[in-house]
């Protein structure tokens, strides 16, 4: 769309991506890459969790390779490491959400990207479970802090008519990062240490951010007018409207984060267990590589579904509203998990259910990008987004703990998958917590960002 056409054609006749300033696109691309690499670094762990924990347990002498209890122990420890990651994610989100309002969106993005990239690389050097947990925790601090700054930045730079789809695009790029994680692990030859080393490369993005992105004028004005109120988390609770919005956003995010990180991202582990009998008779190294590739393949299918699911929410929310669209996808997410964890019995069914589950369970995350910036004023936008998203992460840390514990409780000596299937079916009810949040939340469709 040329500048002349933008002047002559009414804005309402333009598509969301037409007539948008070039700088707004630059901001979206850079913030999107930051979030994409953030997602990549998060999910490298999801794909190498089982083999990496298993290798460390053998390396440290806690188990031998043919111990029948090794697989169950690795699942429990993997769930614990995931919970530790979610706790670090939450703490980082709280801290950097506040900093995003105090020191600026751009500076905060640079700091968080450096943290998550460097410490993802350091994960490749660990040789004990406690050291692994420490590296996952520090990685999570950066991972948790990047989203709020990036979402606030895009929301404040893009024009109102295009903002929902731009933010939906920002969130959808996380699935591209997840696909990248699947690709890296697929071609790594089951070498999980190499996978983590590759995850350190996004730190180079900081150089481009520093050269190309400035702080939004909207943020500069808000800070200059009320410097003591910028990033003041107490303001979220002293104002009754903001307090209600913060509670609503937290409950909505708890449903999405708990469902995805407490259940959805354990789908590759289920697939590995389902398909493990097919590797009998293979050389151990060949079997290990084959299982790693199957896990990566199914995770990739999840992310393809999630990519389209996030756009589906953003588009639907512009037609029927933020709240009804989210209500629909929370229900579909619950159904998809029940269907996938009970319905997968071979590679073909895993691909179909994986894509469907990805579409449904990742779509609510688009709401976090589209909806949450509309709930808070400029001086508290990153703080509010960070609070909702990361308070939910902290609460959702119980989900993988519960999954590991319930999996062990319902384990069957004749069916290695029975415990995980049953545990997932129970924890999936966390999606109904989101409906409590929706009952408290306002509808913001068609309204400008609050000042």
Contact 336, 357 (CB under 8 A): yes
Residue 147: inside a domain: yes
Residue 79: inside a domain: yes
Closest to 350 (Cα-Cα) out of 270, 289, 264, 260: 270
The mean-pLDDT minimum among 176-190, 260-274, 306-320, 368-382 falls in: 176-190
DSSP 8-state code for residue 148: H
**pLDDT computed for residue 202 by the predictor:** 85
Residue 261: inside a domain: yes
Q: Residue 359: is its pLDDT beyond 90? A: yes
Task: Report how far residue 136's alpha carbon sits from residue 398's, in angstroms, rounded to the nearest whole number.
Answer: 17
Residue 298: inside a domain: yes
| Residue indicated by tokens 């966390």 | 430
Q: What is the mean pLDDT of residues 336-346?
A: 93
What tokens were used for 179?
């696909």
Q: Which domain holds residue 124?
A: 18-440
Give me the DSSP letters along 41-80.
Answer: HHHHHHHHHHHHHHHHHHHTTSS-TT-TTHHHHHHHHHHH
Query: For the chain, how many structural domains are there in total?
Result: 1
Contact 401, 261 (CB under 8 A): no
What tokens were used for 438?
């929706």
**pLDDT computed for residue 390 by the predictor:** 81
Residue 344: inside a domain: yes
pTM for the structure as a whole = 0.81
Confidence of residue 392 (pLDDT cuts 50, 70, 90): confident
9, 369, 374 from 15: Cα distances, Å: 11, 20, 21
pLDDT digits (tens, 9 = 90+) for 256-307: 999 998 888 888 888 888 888 888 888 888 888 888 888 888 888 999 999 9
- % of the chain with per-residue pLDDT over 70: 97
Task: Report how far residue 389's alpha carbon sits from residue 85's, in angstroms, rounded to the nearest whole number.
Answer: 14
**pLDDT computed for residue 50 by the predictor:** 84
**Which CATH number fits the domain that encloses residue 378?**
1.20.1250.20
What tokens were used for 295?
């896990």
When the pLDDT of each residue in the chain is averaged and rounded to a whole number, the result is 88
pLDDT digits (tens, 9 = 90+) for 12-55: 678 888 889 999 999 999 999 988 988 888 778 877 888 899 99
Task: Report how far residue 44's alpha carbon sits from residue 201's, in angstroms, rounded to the nearest whole number.
Answer: 13
Q: What is the mean pLDDT of residues 425-429?
A: 93
Give me the DSSP letters along 24-50.
Answer: HHHHHHHHHHHHHHHHHHHHHHHHHHH
164, 224, 380, 433 from 100: Cα distances, Å: 21, 15, 9, 28
pLDDT digits (tens, 9 = 90+) for 208-227: 888 889 988 888 888 888 77
**pLDDT computed for residue 189 by the predictor:** 64
Higher pLDDT among residues 245 and 207, named by residue: 245
**pLDDT computed for residue 87 by the predictor:** 85
The alpha helices in 127-228, defined as continuous H runs, are 129-157, 163-186, 192-198, 205-212, 217-225
Residue 447: inside a domain: no
Residue 309: inside a domain: yes
**Helix orientation angle between 284-320 and 322-343, rounded to the nearest 10 degrees:** 160
Confidence of residue 8 (pLDDT cuts 50, 70, 90): very low
* Torsion sign over Cα 133, 263, 398, 168: positive
Residue 7: inside a domain: no
Q: Residue 430: is its pLDDT beyond 50? A: yes
């Amino acid at each position: 769309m040329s500048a002349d056409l933008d002047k002559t054609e009414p804005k309402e006749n333009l598509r969301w991506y037409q007539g948008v300033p070039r700088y707004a696109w630059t901001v979206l691309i850079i913030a999107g890459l930051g979030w994409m690499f953030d997602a990549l670094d998060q999910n490298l762990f999801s794909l190498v969790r089982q083999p990496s924990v298993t290798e460390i347990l053998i390396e440290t002498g806690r188990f031998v390779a043919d111990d029948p209890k090794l697989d169950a122990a690795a699942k429990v420890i993997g769930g614990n490491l995931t919970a530790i990651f979610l706790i670090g994610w939450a703490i980082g989100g709280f801290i950097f959400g506040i900093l995003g309002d105090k020191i600026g969106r751009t500076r905060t993005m640079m700091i968080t990207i450096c943290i998550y990239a460097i410490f993802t690389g350091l994960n490749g050097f660990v040789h004990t479970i406690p050291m692994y947990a420490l590296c996952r925790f520090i990685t999570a601090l950066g991972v948790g802090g990047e989203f709020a700054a990036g979402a606030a930045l895009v929301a404040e730079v893009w024009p109102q008519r295009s903002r929902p789809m731009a933010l939906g695009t920002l969130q959808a790029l996380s699935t591209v990062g997840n696909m990248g994680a699947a690709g890296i692990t697929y071609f790594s030859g089951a070498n999980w240490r190499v996978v983590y080393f590759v995850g350190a490369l996004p730190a180079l993005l900081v150089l481009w951010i520093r050269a190309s992105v400035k702080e939004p004028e909207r943020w500069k004005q808000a800070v200059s007018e009320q410097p003591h109120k910028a990033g003041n988390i107490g303001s979220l609770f002293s104002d009754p409207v903001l307090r209600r919005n913060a509670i609503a956003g937290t409950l909505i995010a708890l449903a999405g984060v708990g469902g995805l990180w407490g259940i959805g991202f354990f789908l590759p582990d289920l697939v590995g267990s389902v398909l493990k009998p097919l590797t009998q008779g293979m050389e151990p190294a060949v079997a290990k590589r084959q299982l790693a590739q199957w896990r990566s393949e199914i995770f990739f299918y999840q992310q393809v579904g999630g990519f389209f699911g996030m756009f589906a929410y953003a588009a639907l929310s512009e037609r029927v509203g933020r709240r009804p669209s989210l209500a629909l996808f929370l229900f579909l997410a619950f159904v998809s998990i029940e269907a996938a964890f009970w319905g997968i019995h071979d590679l073909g069914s895993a691909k179909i259910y994986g894509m469907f589950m990805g579409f449904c369970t990742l779509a609510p995350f688009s709401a976090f990008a589209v909806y949450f910036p509309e709930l808070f004023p400029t001086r508290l936008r990153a703080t509010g987004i960070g609070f909702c998203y990361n308070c939910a992460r902290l609460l959702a840390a119980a989900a993988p703990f519960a999954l590991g514990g319930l999996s062990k409780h319902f384990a069957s000596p004749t069916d290695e998958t029975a415990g995980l299937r049953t545990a997932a079916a129970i924890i999936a009810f966390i999606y109904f917590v989101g409906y409590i949040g929706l009952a408290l939340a306002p509808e913001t469709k068609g309204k400008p960002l609050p000042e």
